[in-house]
């Protein structure tokens, strides 16, 4: 289960989830096996056999799936920028 | 003094990085009194390497983040003294690894550089903590906890106004401009047996939510997400040789690092106190199979 908010900010407003570099991904699916939050979805019969289906399930600032990725095909947004954005959003909510 | 390592490369034959791991092992073996462990043979005939893995510090050389050699070491209950991941080393050095399984001059040069690093490296036990000139802050040796239990798992969360947490299950205990940082019981229970600790670099500037080293078990690699911003002034060196201390107690003996705080007033906005984190922890534990 994932949280609906992060530090009081609605999760859907925070841009934090893995990006797949399809030129590197070898569809080993280690990330899918690893992530307990159903962020990824396997699509056996499509050209892109793996997609980020539920980006909002991704735990903000967690990059653990990328550390299981042999071909280094997963990347994440810049943490500093995301932190600044979260602070801005909190400010707007006051 | 010549090194006497037990070298465990992943030897991944279908990936360039795996082939480089083999090349590194060969280079180190040729120039020291080290012994190579074949991961394939190790699986079927463990006894062959028993002596070597007991007597020598084990160096694990993984080609990529799939960590086949690390996982094998975990499966065999081996203590890892040093760990190299070829793709990470390439990134650090700004080098590209080619696609061919036959190693070219770039790949051989990378293997040579990593081998030299291993041959030159003092064992981590020999390294001294660089604390010179740092003020010493006395952190408490014992904390008080609130406990939450699920099945056989016990989750302790330390109490006190000086404790701050982030939602990534890391804590900071703040005294003045100094903070001691670590992970919570949720992390160590989720990872189970922690077998390797990659410390942050002393002197490094870390942003809030930045990476403060990694801890690793057979299950996963966990990036320590710093609750506070600051400069790393000390690391818990005991964890390098005994990372299991984090499993024993991630708050007292298993702390990770100490930071000189640079912007704590600002960081506080995105930190949780004991009560808020305890509620989040309970929710996580209830909805999660550890």
Which of B234, B162, B153 lies closest to B187, judged by CA?
A: B153
Which of residues A63 and B2 earns the better pLDDT score?
A: A63
Q: Is the pLDDT of residue A90 over 80?
A: yes
Q: Which of B56-60, B127-131, B183-187, B231-235 has the lowest mean pLDDT?
A: B127-131
Of B120, B154, B183, which one is at a domain's C-terminal end?
A: B120
pLDDT on residue B130: 43
> Is pLDDT at B127 greater than 50 in this prediction?
no
Residue B134 confidence (pLDDT): 54
Domain coordinates of chain A in residue numbers?
5-77
Instruction: Give the H or E element holding residue B217.
Output: strand B211-217
pLDDT band at B207 (very low <50, low <70, confident <90, very high): very high
Q: What is the mean pLDDT of chain A?
A: 93
In this structure, the answer to whether residues B149 and B116 fall within a common structural domain is no
**A42–chain B nearest CA distance, Å:** 19
Q: B232: domain CATH number? A: 2.40.50.100
What's the pLDDT score for residue B255? 97
Residues B36 and B156 in one domain: no
Q: Which domain holds residue B199?
A: 145-286
Token pair of B72 as six digits: 């094998």
The reply to whether B183 and B265 lie within a common domain is yes
Chain A residues contacting B via beta carbons under 8 Å:
1, 3, 6-7, 28, 30, 34, 36, 59-64, 66-72, 79-80, 82-83, 86-87, 90
CA distance B79 to B121: 18
Task: Look at residue B137 and tell me if it is in a domain.
Answer: no
Q: Are residues B113 and B156 in the same domain?
A: no
For residues B243 and B157, state if they share a domain: yes
The 10s digit of each residue's pLDDT in B147-186 is: 999 988 999 999 999 999 999 999 999 999 999 999 999 9
Question: How far separated are the first and last CA of chain A, in Å rounded?
Answer: 28
Looking at the structure, tell me whether residues B279 and B170 fall in a common domain. Answer: yes
Selecting from B15, B64, B168 the residue whose C-beta is nearest the C-beta of A62 gives: B168
Of B111, B121, B106, B124, nearest to B32 (Cα)? B121
The number of domains in chain B is: 2
Strand partners for B174 = B179
Query: Which of A50, A14, A57 is closest to A31 using CA atoms?
Result: A50
B240 and B166 in one domain? yes
- Domain A5-77 class? alpha beta
Inform me whether the pLDDT recorded for B72 exceeds 70: yes
Best to test chain B binding among A8, A70, A89 (most B CBs inside 10 Å): A70
Domain boundary among the residues B120, B155, B186 is at: B120
Same-domain check for residues B16 and B115: yes
Instruction: State pLDDT tens for residues B34-55.
Output: 999 999 999 999 999 999 998 8
Q: Which residues contact B35 (CB under 8 A, 6 or more apart)?
A: B5, B6, B7, B29, B49, B52, B56
Q: Are residue B149 and residue B265 in the same domain, yes or no?
A: yes
What's the pLDDT at B125?
A: 42
At residue B128, does pLDDT exceed 80? no
Same-domain check for residues B153 and B276: yes
Where does a domain end: B120, B135, B165?
B120
Q: What ipTM is given for this predicted complex?
A: 0.89
Residue B135 binned pLDDT confidence (cut-offs 50, 70, 90): low
Q: Are residues B196 and B230 in the same domain?
A: yes
Query: Does residue B194 sit within a domain?
Result: yes
Name the residue in chain B with its Cα closest to that of A8.
B270
Q: Are residues B82 and B196 in the same domain?
A: no
pLDDT value of residue B3 = 83
């Amino acid at each position: 289960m994932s949280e609906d908010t992060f530090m009081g900010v609605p999760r859907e407003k925070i841009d934090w989830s893995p990006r797949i570099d399809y030129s590197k991904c070898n569809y080993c699916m280690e990330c899918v096996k690893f992530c307990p939050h159903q962020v990824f979805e396997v699509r056996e019969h499509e050209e892109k056999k793996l997609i980020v289906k539920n980006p909002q399930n991704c735990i903000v600032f967690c990059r653990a799936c990328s550390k299981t990725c042999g071909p280094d095909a997963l990347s994440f947004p810049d943490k500093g920028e995301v932190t600044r954005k979260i602070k801005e959003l909190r400010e707007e909510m006051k | 003094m010549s090194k006497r390592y037990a070298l465990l490369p992943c030897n991944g034959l279908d990936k360039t990085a795996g082939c480089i791991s083999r090349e590194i092992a060969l280079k180190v073996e040729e120039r020291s009194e080290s012994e190579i462990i074949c991961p394939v043979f190790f699986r079927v005939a463990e006894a062959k390497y028993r002596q070597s893995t007991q007597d020598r510090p084990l160096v694990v050389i993984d080609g990529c983040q799939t960590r086949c050699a690390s996982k094998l070491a975990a499966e065999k209950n081996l203590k890892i003294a040093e760990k190299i991941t070829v793709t990470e080393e390439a990134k650090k050095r700004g080098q590209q690894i080619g696609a061919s399984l036959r190693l070219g001059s770039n790949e051989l040069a990378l293997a040579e550089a990593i081998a030299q690093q291993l041959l030159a490296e003092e064992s981590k036990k020999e390294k001294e903590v660089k604390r010179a000139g740092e003020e010493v802050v006395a952190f408490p040796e014992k904390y008080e906890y609130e406990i939450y239990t699920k099945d056989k798992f016990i989750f302790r969360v330390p109490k006190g106004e000086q404790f701050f947490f982030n939602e990534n299950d890391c804590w900071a205990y703040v005294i003045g401009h100094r903070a001691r940082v670590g992970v919570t019981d949720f992390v160590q229970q989720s990872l189970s047996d922690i077998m390797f600790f990659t410390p942050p670099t002393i002197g490094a500037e870390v942003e809030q939510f930045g990476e403060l080293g990694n801890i690793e078990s057979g299950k996963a690699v966990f990036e320590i997400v710093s609750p506070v911003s600051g400069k790393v002034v000390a690391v818990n060196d005991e964890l390098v040789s005994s990372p299991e201390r984090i499993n024993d107690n991630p708050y007292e003996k298993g702390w990770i690092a100490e930071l000189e705080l640079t912007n704590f007033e600002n960081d506080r906005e995105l930190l949780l106190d004991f009560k808020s984190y305890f509620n989040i922890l309970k929710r996580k534990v209830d909805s999660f199979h550890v």
